[in-house]
Amino acid sequence: MYSQGLDQRDGRHDGANTAEPAEALARFQARIDAEEKIEANDWMPDAYRRTLIRQISQHAHSEIVGMGPEGNWITRAPSLRRKAALLAKVQDECGHGVYLYAAAETLGVSREELVDALLEGRAKYSSIFNYPTLTWADIGAVGWLVDGAAIMNQIPLCRCSYGPYARAMIRVCKEESFHQRQGFEIMLTLSRGTAAQQAMAQDALDRLWWPVLMMFGPPDTDSQHSDQSMRWKIKRFTNDGLRQKFIDATVPQAQYLGLTIPDPALRFDDASGHWISGPIDWAEFRRVLAGGGPCNRERLETRRRAHAEGAWVRAAAQAHAARHEAKAA
């Protein structure tokens, strides 16, 4: 991943590069403040460009790696209808990865560089995909919770100041909404089913709840990039702000399903109107980011193998394109 190092080539966090004229920076910030979209050929501070490359590429990698935990259930889906829906969802995620790599490429970085960074283990992708999907209920819980969290995070990204990212997000969010509903419907079926099915649904929620809350990123007090990204209107809400919105939306859904959120400290606060969560184990989050999650190694090995096995497809596509161009000429 283009790590935070990329955001601070000149050692500053405020987005100002000492080589960039203050006047140009002020004009740029004025455009952002006026809610203008920044387009690929517009002047932008180096740090803005690097922040976007970091975030968009991390997002693209997450979509691609995220195909793995669900893909391994396609052959075991319990009915043809479930199989067709899951296939469509996994294909959508591949499409999201492709739009996002294309959006990152508008910033002057190549898809090959980004993919190499992932395969070499230099790139980050969402922590959630380093957890296993052990039962069919996990596919329901991933759709309901992981895609639910993704929508919460990505709806505001439709208003991101960078035009190509914002536009990609509009279509992505429409598709994520279908994903979330298919996941919730799986959970609804299981939770209205036999005792064994209910237990399977509860077990999936028990294992995924805390990792899903971690998807929103570290607490605001530890988030290195939030302040600057909010000033640039790349992010519209802080990590804690979105996490709270997600908890508030999801607790009533769990109640409707008859499932229990695995947080004994969870309580509704009348004064603020929010569900207040117990403490999150941030040591686990840091461990997963450092490569120590249950599936980090497996996920990267799968990507590397898929990339190697797909070499002939890339070569064939290039040969076809070259022949097509030669014919046209």
Size of the site for ligand BYC (CB under 6 A): 31
What residues between 21 and 80 interact with ligand BYC by CB under 6 A?
Answer: 54-55, 58-59, 62-63, 66
CA distance 190 to 196: 9
Q: What Å distances lie between residue 265 and 247, 261, 262, CA to CA?
A: 13, 10, 9
Is position 82 an interface residue for ligand BYC (rule: CB under 6 A)? Answer: no
Is the separation of the CB atoms in 105 and 163 below 8 Å?
A: no
Using CB under 6 A as the binding rule, whether residue 180 contacts ligand BYC is answered as: no
Binding segment (CB under 6 A) for ligand BYC, from list 79-87, 146-154, 196-204, 253-261: 146-154
Minimum Å distance from CB 195 to ligand BYC?
A: 29
| Among the listed residues 126, 180, 202, 296, the single contact to ligand BYC using CB under 6 A | 126
Question: Which residue's CB is nearer to ligand BYC, number 182 or number 229?
Answer: 229
Residue 196 DSSP one-character state: H
Task: Please report, to the nearest 10 degrees, the dihedral formed by the alpha carbons of residues 288, 294, 296, 298 taken in order.
Answer: 180
How many other CB atoms are there within 10 angstroms of residue 324's CB atom?
Answer: 10
Asked whether 144 and 183 are in contact (CB, 8 A), the reply is yes
Nearer residue to ligand BYC within complex by CB, 191 or 226? 226
Shortest Cβ 290–ligand BYC spacing (Å): 11
Pattern 90-119, ligand BYC, x by CB under 6 A: ---x--------------------------
Q: Are 109 and 273 in contact (CB under 8 A)?
A: no
Burial (0-12, 13-18, 19+ Cβ within 10 Å), 320: exposed
3 or 255, CB closer to ligand BYC?
3
Q: Which of residues 199-258 bind ligand BYC (CB under 6 A)?
A: 214-218, 223-226, 229, 235, 239
Token code pair at residue 51: 């922040």
Select 3 or 318, whichever has its Cβ closest to ligand BYC. Answer: 3
d(CA 207, CA 135): 11
Residues 248-307, interacting with ligand BYC (CB under 6 A)? 289
Q: What is the rounded distance in angstroms from the CA atom of residue 50 to the CA atom of residue 5?
A: 9
Residues that bind ligand BYC (CB under 6 A): 1, 3-4, 54-55, 58-59, 62-63, 66, 93, 124, 126-127, 146-147, 150, 153, 214-218, 223-226, 229, 235, 239, 289
